[in-house]
Structure 1
Amino acid sequence: MSHHHEDEFRLHTPEFSDLNKKLDRRNFLTKTSLGLGALAVGSLIAGAKGFGGTLSKPAVEGSSDLEEEILRALPHIAPKAKRVVYLFMSGGPSQFETFDYKPKLVTMAGQNLPDSVRKGQRLTGMSANQSALPMVPSIYKFNRHGKNQTWISELLPHTAQVVDDLCIIKSIYSEAINHDPAITFFQTGNQLPGRPSIGSWISYGLGSDNQNLPTFIVLVSKNGQKDQPLYARLWGNGFLPSKHQGVQFRSGKDPVLFLNNPEGYDGKDRKEMLEYLSKLNKLQNDQFGDPEVDARIAQYEMAYHMQTSVPEVMNTADEPDEVFEMYGPDSRDSGTYAANCLLARKLLEKDVKFVQLYHQGWDQHGSLPKGIAQQCKSTDQATAALIKDLKRRGLLEDTLVIWGGEFGRTVYSQGKLSADDYGRDHHPRCFTMWMAGAGVKSGISYGETDDFSYNIVRDPVHVHDFQATMMHLMGIDHERLTYKFQGRRFRLTDVHGKVVRDILA
C-alpha cells in the first residue's frame, strides 16, 4: 500500500472520525456565542491603544490577540544582551565573607547588635529566641583589586582577577526571609508558587535563536551541599504555554529525561510516528482550540531535534586542556559546578537565550568559616573562568552574566560564637549580587550599606528592580510584557520595579 493510501486509510479510522466529527447545534452555539460576543466588544474598542501598539483585534478572556500584539512589538528597545547566564547561589551567600567589607566590626566583636540598627526588623524563628545577638566580623582578609581598588575577600582570588568586568551591587533587598519564598520571589517575581519563572518570561517574550535547543536550559551542580531543596517549579512556565518551561540538563547518559530512545528501539520510524501524531494533534486543536496542543506539538518537534543536538553540545571531550585548566580540575567531572560553567559557555555559543545554573549549599547557620570556604573553592575559579572565556570569544559583550543568591546573612552570630567558628542567620534587608557583560558598567560597586551591613544607606535595589533591569538589557520593557490569566494581566515584576539606570553602560 502506498504512503498516500496509508494516510487516507488512517485519516478515516474511527479514532480520526471521532475527533474530526461535525459540530452539532449545541457545540456550534456554545462556541460561536463567545466569538459573536468578542466581535461586539471589538466593534466598541477597535483602534484602542494597548501594550506596545494599536490593537486591531479585541482582547477578551481566552483570546491570544493582545498577547500576539505584545510579542510583535518586541523588542521594545534596542537590546544590549542577546543571552543571559544566571549563576544562582542557592542558600544565601554571606556578604561579609565575600564582597561587603566591614572593618569596623573588628572592634565590636561580641557586642550585641544595637537596637538603633535593628529597628525592630523581623528575625527568623531560628534566632528570634536568642538572648543576645552578638556581632561577629569575618575572619577572612579583604584586599583591594582592579583599577578601582575594589575590596574582595581572600576566599575569591579568581573572582578578584576579573573584578574590572564586574558591576557589584551591594544594596539588593527583599521582603522574603525564608528560603522557599525568597528563591521563588527571585525566580518568579512572587513569593507564592505558580507564576512563570524569569527564564520562561524571556522565552515567551523573545523566542529562540536556536531551533535545535530549548530557549531556557537549567543546570544543577551535583557537588553543592543539598541543605535546601530546589523544586522544578523554580524553572516552570506557570500559566504561560508549557513550551516555555526550563529544560533541565543532567550529567550521565540521559542528559534530558525521556529524550533517548528506549532500549531495543532504533528510531527508524520516528519521523513517520511524529507526523501521524501531529495529524492527531491538529485534529484535536481544530476541535477544541486549546493552545496547549500547539505547545505540545512544538515540544515533540523540539525533542526530535534535541536527539541529535544534545549529545553534540554535551560533549566536552574536544575542549583543549588549557580550557579545563582554566575552569579547574572539577570541570572534567560532568555535573559539577565547574563542568556546568563550561557547558553553559557551549550553550551560549549555540545562542541558547537563558541558561540558569543552581549551586546549593550556601545556608551556613553554623560552622560558616569552614562551609563558605568550601563553597568558594568549588565555585570561584569556574565563575571567573566563565567570564574570561566569554570575553576572549567575543561573547561577553552581548551576554549578561548574573551571580547571587536569594538573600544575605546577619551581622550577628546564630548559636555558638568563638574566634574561628560562627554562623549567620538569613538577612533580606541588604545583600550583594553582581552582574557582568552586556550593557552594564564594568569595574564598579553600586549601593552602600551601613557599618553592620544591616541597612542600606545609599541606592537601594529591590528584587523587582533587578528583574526590570535584566529585562531592559534584553530589550524588554518590563511593564509591557504581560500575559492575561484568570481575568488579570500579569508580568514578572507584578506592579513594581524600576530600571537601575545608574549601572547601565
Structure 2
Amino acid sequence: MNDLFDLNGIVNRRQFFRKNMTGLGAAALASLLPKELMALGGHAGAGDVQLPHFAPKAKRVIYMSMIGAPSQLETFDYKPGLEKRFKEDLSGFLKESGVRLTTMTSGQKGFPVAPSRFAFNQHGESGAWVSELLPHTAKMVDDLCIIKSMHTDAINHEPANYLMYTGSMIRGKASMGSWLSYGLGSMNQDLPTFVVLHAYHTNPKSNVQAISSGLWGSGFLPGEHAGVSLRGKGDPVLYLKNAPGISREMRRSMLDGLNTLNRKSYEQVGDPEIQTRIQQYEMAFRMQASVPELTDMSGESEHTYELYGSEAKKRGSFAYSCLMARRLVERGTRFVQIFHRGWDQHGALQRDLPEQCKDVDQGAYALIQDLKQRGMLEDTLVVWGGEFGRTVYCQGPLSEKNYGRDHHPKCFTIWMAGGGIKPGMVYGETDEMSFNITTPDQAVHVRDLHATILHQLGIDHERLTYPYQGLDNRLTGVMPAKVVRDILT
C-alpha cells in the first residue's frame, strides 16, 4: 500500500517523455564534454546552431549598475544655455508635449528649469564634455564610448531596473548575466559564471534605492544560471567554511552520498531542477577552495592600490568591488555585475551627488586602466550607467544652493568600453534641455543595448532563446531591437 503513495515512483505522461529524452546517459555525456559545448543543454532555439553564433569580440562583461539613475545633466550632458533659463516654468511645454510625469511631480504648481550647478570641461582628443564631479573619468574619455541617446519605456525605478537587467518590466524573467551563463557557459569550473557584487555608498544621507534578487535571478532558466552574490562584509559566501569537526574529505563523502540519492530521484521523476541542485552542491564544494584564494588580496601590489585608491582596501567599497571584478574576470568569470545604490536625487542634489560620484569615479577609472595594462580590455566589455535619466525641471523648491530632479525616460547617458566598442566616441545628442534625443537615427533603446552586448559576445539576440509558457523567450523580447553597429570597431 505504501508503494502506491511513493511519489518518487509516480511517473506521469510528461515525466515519461522527459525521462526518455534526458536520462542519466545524457548527464554522463555532458560530464565528459567541455562545458562550453554543453552550455545550452542542447537547446539554442528551434533549429539553431551551437553558440557562439559568430566570432566574438568580447569574452566577458563587467556591468557597473548605478541604481537610482545618475543625472545626465550633472555628469556628461552639458547644457550651458540653461543658465539663462533659471527658474523658467516649463508647465506649458510639458502639457503641450504630453510627456508622462511621475506622481512625485505631477501635482506641482510649476516646473522650474534647474541648470546644473557644476562646471564642465572638454577632455581628450574626442573633446567629450565631462563634469567636474568625475575628474578620473574625464582622464579616460578616449577609452570610452559615451552614449547620450539612451532611452527606455519605464518611468519608475523597479520596472526600469527590471527592463534594464532582464529585458522586461515584468518580474520573473531571466537576467542578462543568466542569459550569458546559459548561452556561453563557464570559463572556470571552480567559480560561478555570473557573480554579483554590492558596493556600499559612503554618504549616509543618500536615498538608497531598494533592489531585489530578481535583477540577477535566472527566472525561467535553470537555477544554476542565477547570479551568485559575494558579500562585502563577513564571509564572501555564507557557510563557506566547513562546520567544526567536518573535514574536506568528510564533506566530499557526504556530497557523494547526497548526489547518489539525487540521481535516483532524477531517474524516477525526471525533474531537471534535481540536476541543477547536484551541480550547485558541486559548485559550492569547489568554491570552498577557490573563493578564499579569490578574496585574498595580499598579492596585490601597492601600485594597484595607488591606482584604485585607498578605498580599495575597504571591503565592500566600490573601488574594492572594481578590483574584485578584475580578479574575477581574470579567473574566468563570464559576467560580473556591480550594484551601487543611492543615485535617486529628488532633492539635495548639490549635497548628495558629489559624494555618489566620488564613490565610483576612481574605481571605474582604475578598472579600465587595470584591464588595459593587462591586455584584457580588448576582450572585456565594460558598461557604466543607470536605469533612466533625470528631468531638466526641479522637483520641489528650487534655489541656487538646492534642487532635485525627477525621473526622465526619454534620454539618458551611459558609457561603454573595451570588447570591440569604439573608444574616444560620443554617440547621440539631445536638445538644449536634455529632454529629447535630437539624433533619432542614433537613439539607443534598452533592447538595442542588450542586442549589442550579446552581439559583442558572438550571439545573435534573435537566436538565443528558451522555451517557456509557449513562447521562445529571449533577452530582447518580442519588440524590435537592433545592434548599434556605429559604435563597434
**TM-score, shorter chain, exceeding 0.5:** yes
With over 3 angstroms needed to count, the CA separation of the structure-2 counterparts of 1:382 and 1:33, relative to structure 1, is closer
2:350 alignment counterpart: 369
1:105 alignment counterpart: 82
Match for residue 405 of structure 2 among 393, 400, 424? 424
TM-aligned CA deviation for residue 486 of structure 1: 1.4
TM-aligned CA deviation for residue 488 of structure 1: 1.2
Q: Indicate if the aligned counterparts of 2:144 and 2:423 stay in contact, CA closer than 8 A.
A: yes
With over 3 angstroms needed to count, the CA separation of the structure-2 counterparts of 1:157 and 1:240, relative to structure 1, is same
Partner deviation per Cα, 1:158-188 (whole Å, 9 max, x = no partner): 0011110000000100111111111111010
TM-aligned CA deviation for residue 268 of structure 1: 3.1
2:444 alignment counterpart: 461
Match for residue 332 of structure 1 among 288, 291, 313? 313
1:188 alignment counterpart: 166
1:355 alignment counterpart: 336
Q: Does 1:228 align with 2:203?
A: no
1:489 alignment counterpart: 472
Cα separation, 2, equivalents of 1:276 and 1:264: 19
Partner deviation per Cα, 1:260-317 (whole Å, 9 max, x = no partner): 2234433331111111111111111111111111111111111111001001011112
TM-aligned CA deviation for residue 257 of structure 1: 2.1
Q: Does 1:74 align with 2:55?
A: no
1:164 alignment counterpart: 142
1:465 aligned partner, one-letter code: D
1:153 aligned partner, one-letter code: S
Match for residue 309 of structure 1 among 277, 281, 290? 290
SS of aligned partner of 1:391: helix
TM-aligned CA deviation for residue 149 of structure 1: 1.2
With over 3 angstroms needed to count, the CA separation of the structure-2 counterparts of 1:452 and 1:271, relative to structure 1, is same
SS of aligned partner of 2:232: coil
1:144 alignment counterpart: 122
TM-aligned CA deviation for residue 64 of structure 1: 6.9
Q: Indicate if the aligned counterparts of 2:197 and 2:232 stay in contact, CA closer than 8 A.
A: no
Q: Indicate if the aligned counterparts of 1:117 and 1:455 stay in contact, CA closer than 8 A.
A: no
Q: Does 1:174 align with 2:152?
A: yes
Q: Does 1:474 align with 2:451?
A: no
1:4 alignment counterpart: none
2:36 alignment counterpart: none
1:90 alignment counterpart: 67
With over 3 angstroms needed to count, the CA separation of the structure-2 counterparts of 1:208 and 1:226, relative to structure 1, is farther
Cα separation, 1, equivalents of 2:12 and 2:412: 58
With over 3 angstroms needed to count, the CA separation of the structure-2 counterparts of 1:283 and 1:139, relative to structure 1, is same
SS of aligned partner of 1:410: strand
Q: Indicate if the aligned counterparts of 2:91 and 2:110 stay in contact, CA closer than 8 A.
A: no
Percent identity for Structure 1 against Structure 2:
52
With over 3 angstroms needed to count, the CA separation of the structure-2 counterparts of 1:135 and 1:283, relative to structure 1, is same
Q: Cα RMSD over matched residues?
A: 2.2
With over 3 angstroms needed to count, the CA separation of the structure-2 counterparts of 1:277 and 1:33, relative to structure 1, is closer
Q: Indicate if the aligned counterparts of 1:113 and 1:134 stay in contact, CA closer than 8 A.
A: yes
Q: Indicate if the aligned counterparts of 2:120 and 2:131 stay in contact, CA closer than 8 A.
A: yes
SS of aligned partner of 1:171: strand
Cα separation, 2, equivalents of 1:369 and 1:160: 20
Cα separation, 1, equivalents of 2:343 and 2:298: 31
Cα separation, 2, equivalents of 1:30 and 1:319: 53
Structure 1: which 5+ runs fail to align? Answer: 1-13, 39-62
1:239 alignment counterpart: 220
Q: Does 1:501 align with 2:482?
A: no
1:284 alignment counterpart: 265
1:471 aligned partner, one-letter code: L
Q: Indicate if the aligned counterparts of 2:207 and 2:345 stay in contact, CA closer than 8 A.
A: no
Cα separation, 2, equivalents of 1:368 and 1:120: 26
Who wins on radius of gyration, i.e. which is larger?
1
Match for residue 212 of structure 1 among 186, 190, 208? 190
Match for residue 203 of structure 1 among 161, 181, 189? 181
Partner deviation per Cα, 1:7-64 (whole Å, 9 max, x = no partner): xxxxxxx99xx7986x7xxx4877557899x9xxxxxxxxxxxxxxxxxxxxxxxx97
Q: Indicate if the aligned counterparts of 2:114 and 2:392 stay in contact, CA closer than 8 A.
A: yes
SS of aligned partner of 2:275: helix
SS of aligned partner of 1:449: coil
